[in-house]
Structure 1
Amino acid sequence: MLSFIRRPARPSAWASLVMALGLPGLSPVGHAAPETPEGGYPPLGTDVMVPDLGSETAPAVIEDPLTAFQGRPSGPSVDTPTRPTAPAVAVGPAEPIAPPPVTHLSLMLDWYPSPRHAALFVARELDLFKERGLEVEIQTPADPDVPTKLLATSRIDLALTRQPLLHLMVDQDQPLVRVATLVGLPLASLVLDDAIGLEALEGTRIGHVDLDAENVLLASLLTHQELTREALDSPDLHFRLEQAMREGRVDGVIGAVRYLLPRALADDGLSTQTYTTESMGVPRYDGLILVANRDHLAQQREAIVALVEALEEATAWIVEHPDAGWALLARAEPAIDTPTNRAAWPEAMRRLSLTPAALHEKRYADFEHFLNQQHLVSETTPVERLAIDPNRQ
């Protein structure tokens, strides 16, 4: 529908000036007069038709778009077409980002630093502990029998030891439990002077290096050779087994690492014979394990899981980069960098466990049964009290 709106006559400012001066027909300087459309302009004051887009009866009215917002709240927090919501000024400095929490764990080695501890030192040097929110303090014991005792009395958080010693300690009601395996094969052996055969042990001096070497390995050797405990002398050598052999104070050592001591003595010109624990009738066992205090396991489980994951990643890296692994290990622990350890590195590396958390339950059950048969423990302990996979709840 069309509405009629009277268009008022509104002469332009120039036209008004021309008429005022009485100069009809002139146009502004520099501007040509517009051409008159065909049919001419409608006379001023003529009604013109404008389409009504609003309703059928009311004339079209163009409204101010801001009219709809009149009377409504306004301010910096109100979103309007002329004042969109946006912070104009920061109120005070931004809060500092708090560092992630760090869990401290104290861990004691079973002996002085050695290639068998490679996963621990490499994980530390590659910041694999730090990436998992851990600060791991690695300590060296003054006595190889000390770590498990300190762990049992809650003076440290974790300790490295051998599977045979774990069985003995649990049998004595100590709250220890295996949570990872760093070396899944036996490391101990009997090393004898080449002049002494296995059949001529009676009357000899066979030194031992730790408690389980005396109570399990030596006892098994005597049973295997049908000898009594009084048939030979067995002094405790602690760390001085190589020196004792070199000086002739003992005829042999039981519990020595099978790929280290014979090589070191050979470098000194001393010929020896090496007998594995398996050849003495001892079942295969985990050579190096990580143990925790069962009384604190619930609180420490998350941190232990993270630590074991770091050890697994470090071991994988060592296997993929054996030369770089040795270089990193030697730089981190200079005392490890000896000719004997360098020569033994390939053999030590092959024994590292690729899946530290994985638990060989039958191995622990079989070893416990062996100890019970040999009357080396008072009763048979269930595997779940001896060892766990920390990833299993």
Structure 2
Amino acid sequence: MNPRKAGKMSWRLTAAMLVFVMALAGCGANNNAPAATEQPQEQEGTADKPLEKVQVVLDWTPNTNHTGLYVARDKGFFKEQGLDVEIVQPGQTGADQMVASGSAQFGVSYQESITLARISGVPIVSIAAVIQHNTSGFASPLAKGIDSPEKFEGKTYGGWGAPVEEAVIQSLMQEKGADVGKVNMISIGDSDFFTAVKRDIDFAWIYYAWTGVEAELRGEKINMLYLTDYSDKLDYYTPVLATNETMIKDKPEIVKAFTAAAAKGYQYAIDNPDDAAEVLIKAEPDLNAELVRASQKWLSPKYKDDAPRWGEQKLSVWENYAGWMFEHKLLEKELEADKAFTNAFLPE
């Protein structure tokens, strides 16, 4: 997949969760940890205490949402915690399914997909917010004049076909007294944003940190309508780091070690965005280096933002978004939000 398409990953994974959630529920019944976690549980690798081998599976192709993980691996922060961490891509099954089934110990996920999973009894838990506030929104070329949600009327939206997409668009349009029924919604599959808005659609849902920054680099001016400008309930955590309940119960020291090293990696990216970008570029040379550098500069201050520490999550954020999903009939029942996430493994 071309990295420029990664801007749409949040809602695509939400769509995927709607397909996989029943399979995930079946996986949730498997409480056997993967073989890698059956090794000794040491916190430091020494001559007589080997490093604990674990995997963290990405949500999509590598991008600056993942920089802290690459920094933690390549700067030795995971090894300092006694871990030998392999960063892998999800393939067809998806990160959530791999984490829930135990085929990977950790993964990059989203509040929206974890919410759907928890409702279906899937034992996946968020252990850290990668970015403190939702940086996604609806983007369109400046020339199309879509600078407010009511101007979605009569326009074509290109998405993935998930119910949450129409619900979010409707929510924003209601604030302006507009009718979502007047929006033409089509699926654009893997089409690139910049190609699609010239050929098939008027607007799409993107992460500004990747696709928005790429638009800047290309000199293509866009209107960006951030979800958070229209509803506090849509200021959810996307993405997050996740594990499963079995790891939390049986291997809490591994979860703590992983989270501590990841926190150090993301803090490094906050403090040293230029060098952190070079770490990602070296690790993934197929990425557009100019885009990685510009994206990292834009995103690094937003990892922690106004939180007291990187990764910290609020119960109110989980409750607000789950409440919004329930109100829009995207959940069959209310979420036990306090079980969907934990701050317990974050370093003080």
Class of the TM-score when normalised by the shorter of the 2 chains: 0.7 to 0.9
1:363 pairs with one of 314, 317, 322: 317
The answer to whether the 8 Å contact 2:132/2:302 transfers is: yes
User: Partner of 2:275: helix, strand, or coil?
Assistant: helix
Q: Secondary structure at the match of 1:352?
A: helix
Cα pair distance change 1:318/1:269, threshold 3 Å: closer
The corresponding residue for 1:104 is 53
Task: State whether structure 2 residue 213 is matched by structure 1 residue 259.
Answer: no
Question: Cα deviation per residue 1:172-214 (whole Å; 9 max; x = unaligned)?
Answer: 3222111111111112111123214243323433223695863
Q: Is 1:113 the equivalent of 2:62?
A: yes
Partner of 1:64: none
CA distance in 2, matches of 1:330, 1:172: 38
| Secondary structure at 2:267 match in 1 | helix
Which residue of the other structure, out of 332, 342, 347, is the alignment partner of 1:378?
A: 332
Tell me which residue corresponds to 1:166: 114
The equivalent position to 1:318 in structure 2, one of 264, 269, 277, is: 269
Equivalence for 2:344: 390
Partner of 2:171: 220
1:138 aligns with 2:92: no
State the partner residue of 1:58: none
Matched, 1:346 2:297: yes
**Could you say which structure has the larger radius of gyration?**
1
Within 5 Å, give how 1:1-393 maps onto structure 2: 99-142=48-91, 146-194=94-142, 195-197=144-146, 198-208=149-159, 214=165, 217-221=168-172, 223-224=174-175, 226-228=178-180, 231-238=183-190, 240-245=191-196, 247-254=198-205, 256-268=206-218, 270-281=220-231, 283=233, 284-353=235-304, 355-391=309-345
Q: 1:338 corresponds to which letter in structure 2? A: A
Q: Is the 8 A contact 1:220 1:282 kept in 2?
A: no
Relative distance call for 1:205 and 1:381 in structure 2 (3 A) is same
Q: Which whole-Å CA distance do the structure 2 matches of 1:334 and 1:210 have between them?
A: 32
Deviations 1:47-88 (A, max 9, x none): xxxxxxxxxxxxxxxxxxxxxxxxxxxxxxxxxxxxxxxxxx
Check the 8 A contact 1:242/1:265 in 2, yes or no: no
Larger fraction in helix? 2
Distance 2:48 2:163 in 1: 44
Q: 1:317 to 1:200 in 2, by over 3 A?
A: closer
Count of matched residue pairs: 293
1:123 Cα deviation from its structure 2 partner: 0.4
| Structure 1: gaps spanning 5 or more residues | 1-96
Q: Which runs of 5+ in 2 are unaligned?
A: 1-45
| 1:252-311 CA distance string (max 9 Å, x none) | 111x11233233235445432100011342522222201112244312321111011001
Provide the residue aligned with 2:7 in structure 1: none
1:157 alignment partner AA:
Q
The alignment partner of 1:334 has SS state of coil
Which one-letter code corresponds to 1:265 in the other structure?
A: A
SS at match of 2:185: coil
Judging changes above 3 Å, is the alpha-carbon distance between structure 1 residues 236 and 164 closer, same or farther for their aligned structure 2 residues? farther
C-alpha distance 340-212 of structure 1, shift in aligned 2 (>3 A): farther
State the distance in 2 between where 1:104 and 1:368 align. 34
Q: CA RMSD in A?
A: 2.8
TM-score (norm 2): 0.74
* Aligned residues of 1:215 and 1:376 also touching (Cα < 8 A): no
Partner Cα distance (2:345, 2:326) in 1: 29
Tell me, what secondary structure is at the counterpart of 2:90? coil
TM (norm. structure 1) is: 0.66
SS of equivalent residue, structure 1 residue 359: coil
